[in-house]
Amino acid sequence: MGSVRATKPHAVCVPFPAQGHVTPMMRLAMLIHSRGFHITFVNTEFNHRRLIRSKGLDYIKGLPDFQFKTIPDGLPPSDRDATQHVPSLMDATRKNCLAPFKELVLKLNSSSEVPLVTCIVSDGIMSFAIKAGEELGIPEVQFWTASACGFMGYLNFTELIKRGILPFKDESFKGDGTLDKAINWIPGMKNIRLKDLPSFMRITDITETMFDFMGSEAQNCLNSSTIIFNTFDEFEHEVLEVISAKFPHVYTIGPLHLLGRHVPESHFISQGSSLWKEDSKCLQWLDKREPNSVVYVNYGSITVMSDQHFKEFAWGLANSKHTFLWIIRPDVVMGDTAILPKEFFEETKDRGLLTSWCPQDKVLAHPSIGAFLTHCGWNSTLESVSAGVPIICWPFFAEQQTNCRYACTTWEIGVEVNEDVKRHEIEALVKEMMEGEKGKAMRQKAREWKKKAMEATDFEGSSYKNFERFIKEALLIGE
């Protein structure tokens, strides 16, 4: 086995343990693997069990040179098929993951079965890996899985405190117009208001977990040798220019799922990395629909809402009279099961399909999809842009608010739903997007962005070339 050790570079990939982070990290790992690397993909034990439930044991056996390993997340055991409580997860990964992760890497390096670990690719909010890399003398790179504009928002959390904007004195900031205040002092970000910054800044106490965690993890990224962004230059160029001036080793290599089209399709790669069981029957259902006629509705893997909002969305869709595909996770309604009245099903029986999870990139690329009602998570935003589909935005938390603002102003592909959802508003926005002039203009804009995203990931495109450079300059150091 001595020869194996010498021949292949070996990357250890460690995503933050939530679906929106596992998906892009898996795409990146596949791409690195296609360049001749041995891959060790590190999930938490909790998510590893979910992956087995969703994909079966054969999937996690991987390939001879693509293996799955686990580390504990330090949280109490749970069997729920849902993302764990996010603040607890942030706190736990920050406090508990360094030691088991280092132990895992040392174990890999003492095994004669696999090549020596030559680099660590870690999620931008798992910065303990920077420390592990330093202590073990292994090059480490950070993969920021969200938007560059979101990253810029987090980098300015400390500035909000310095300027005396945070913490807010009491909860009245939520309704008194404070959040509508324009912000013009963040370099590279124009046309934004306080409420367009990542939502974790809405605090009355600066020790609040998510505010502290995201602000410091973004700063920690700057301690790494390299940061990768799942975006393309033209899409976020103003913010990217400012980040690159601050931090020279930035590689924009997105949209990753488009870059992935150059990888030879193996059984393993085609499977994706969903932690929920996917229902692909919806693709056959879409085959029977007219082009651009279906509204696709999916709030991502974490968003939750009140039963009242859930029903407003339902009746808004029903009253729009448009055909829709609605993904409803079992845990989408807070503290309750998502149950819709039978009148709703009667009203929509010939034109609505409800299911619990689906292969989203395939759905969005389907010709029958005309608009996407989304929480504006970064994977969803990129997949929508790559498919040329305009979006109706209902951001939930984190930098989804920032993505939503960019979609509605800078990229001109989206409209925003009020935080307090009302059925007549949903009905009007769906109709406007599917039949109106504004909708037509946004669909045109989305198609233009799709063309640019395709060009960026083509053989001579900026993201393609950046990925090649990233492999040579950041991962094959000293090879």
Residue numbers annotated as active site: 21, 123
Q: Which residues contact 245 (CB under 8 A, 6 or more apart)?
A: none
Please report how many Cα atoms fall inside a 13 Å half-sphere around the Cα of residue 115, on the Cβ side.
Answer: 21
- How far is the first Cα of the chain from the last one, in angstroms, to the nearest whole number? 19
- In terms of Cβ atoms closer than 10 Å to its own Cβ (0-12, 13-18, 19+), residue 39 is buried
Element (H, E) at 406: helix 400-408
Q: Using CA atoms, how far apart are residues 303 and 82, in angstroms rounded to an integer?
A: 11
Tell me the C-alpha distance between 87 and 407, whole Å. Answer: 27
- Helices and strands (DSSP H and E) totals, the chain: 21, 15
Among residues 349, 358, 201, the alpha carbon closest in space to that of 274 is found at 358
| Cα 170 from Cα 153, distance rounded (Å) | 22
Question: β-pairing, 192-193 with 182-183?
Answer: antiparallel
Question: Which residue from 252, 244, 248 is spatially nearest to 152, judged by alpha carbons?
Answer: 244
DSSP 478: T
Backbone angles phi, psi at 422, to 5 degrees: -125, 140
Secondary structure element (H or E) that encloses residue 433, with its range: helix 423-435
> Using an 8 Å Cβ cutoff, are 425 and 418 in contact?
yes
The C-alpha atoms of residue 165 and residue 293 are separated, in whole angstroms, by 45
Closest CA to 384 of 366, 399, 402, 401: 366
Which DSSP letter does residue 333 get? B
